[in-house]
Amino acid sequence: MSDWLFDLGNSRFKFAPLQAAGVGVVQAWAHGAEVTTAAARQALPTGDTAWVASVAAPALTAEMLQLLRTRFAHVQVARTEAECAGVRIAYARPEKFGVDRFLALLAAASIAPVLVAGVGTALTIDLLDASGLHRGGRISASPTTMREALHARAVQLPASGGDYAEFANDTEAALASGCDGAAVALIERSLQHAAALLGQRPTLIVHGGGATPLLPLLPDAVYRPSLVLEGLACWAGHSMRHAARINPC
């Protein structure tokens, strides 16, 4: 029987088979009604172990875990750990550090020093030095969330549309340029200060559903859209090796 990886984010549900080389072919759904329809339930895989990471609302997380328990013999939920696979988290209370950020650092650790930027509902930025020490990070609104917030306060400002320009000449483009530009500026500032702190410029990794529009503005970035699932695969492998040491028979 097979093992599968499940990443339940704030806006998307992604899953893929766990393979010897890491992550197999990824499927992604917008979560909500799509997850709970009978057809969607039947489309979910079955297997031995479901390895799950979730930053979604508790009610949605509980619903998905209940569903997975009907389709898998075991369900393992990832939690942020103070230290795992050589990565050490900066937070004094590691449980307050989002599991998606934790898993992204696990996946990126092999090329540390690295600055990891996740672009989803939030924009998260985290710095990992060459020794595996997390030096801290930032959380901001993503460009999509900025647009939606502006539209909610001023309905005449469209929630989407427009192309980036350094000096836009219409409202939609000005909104796209301002919101995308704010995210890029925060990432670039983080890179600048990371280089000063570490004495070398870290590799920049960008991931998440909202990352694509930023890539032309960050030409040196490495794009790894499934970084959280990659990290979940790392965590699963670490957990299985740890269990084997405890129970060698």
Q: Which architecture, in CATH terms, is 4-77?
A: 2-Layer Sandwich (3.30)
Q: Clarify whether 220 is annotated catalytic.
A: no
Count Cα neighbours of 125 within 13 Å in the Cβ-side half-sphere.
21
pLDDT for the residue numbered 36: 54
* Distance, C-alpha 234 to centroid of its chain: 14
4-77 with 83-231: one CATH topology?
A: yes
Averaged pLDDT, 17-28: 91
What is the number of residues in the chain?
Answer: 249
**Residue 249 banded pLDDT, cuts 50, 70, 90:** very low
- pLDDT of 148 higher than 80: yes
By the 10 Å C-beta count (0-12 exposed, 13-18 middle, 19+ buried), 172 is classed as: middle
Residue ranges covered by each domain of the chain = 4-77, 83-231
Which residue among 3, 7, 48, 100 is the active-site one?
A: 100
Averaged pLDDT, 92-106: 97
pLDDT for the residue numbered 22: 87
Average pLDDT, rounded, for the chain = 93
pLDDT for the residue numbered 11: 81
Distance CA 175, CA 24 (A): 37
Which run of H or of E encompasses 115? Answer: strand 114-119
- pLDDT of 111 higher than 60: yes
Query: What proportion of the chain, given as a percentage, has pLDDT over 90?
Result: 83
pLDDT for the residue numbered 118: 98
Over the stretch 33-81, which tens digit does the pLDDT of each residue have?
Answer: 445 566 666 778 999 999 999 999 999 899 899 999 999 999 999 999 9
Q: Which architecture, in CATH terms, is 83-231?
A: 2-Layer Sandwich (3.30)
Over the stretch 180-227, which tens digit does the pLDDT of each residue have?
Answer: 999 999 999 999 999 999 999 999 999 999 999 999 999 999 999 999
Task: Output DSSP code: residue 148.
Answer: H
Alpha-helix residue ranges (DSSP H) falling in the chain:
33-36, 38-43, 58-69, 99-108, 143-153, 171-198, 227-246
pLDDT for the residue numbered 44: 87
Integer CA distances (angstroms), 116 to 54, 124, 125, 205, in order: 19, 8, 6, 5
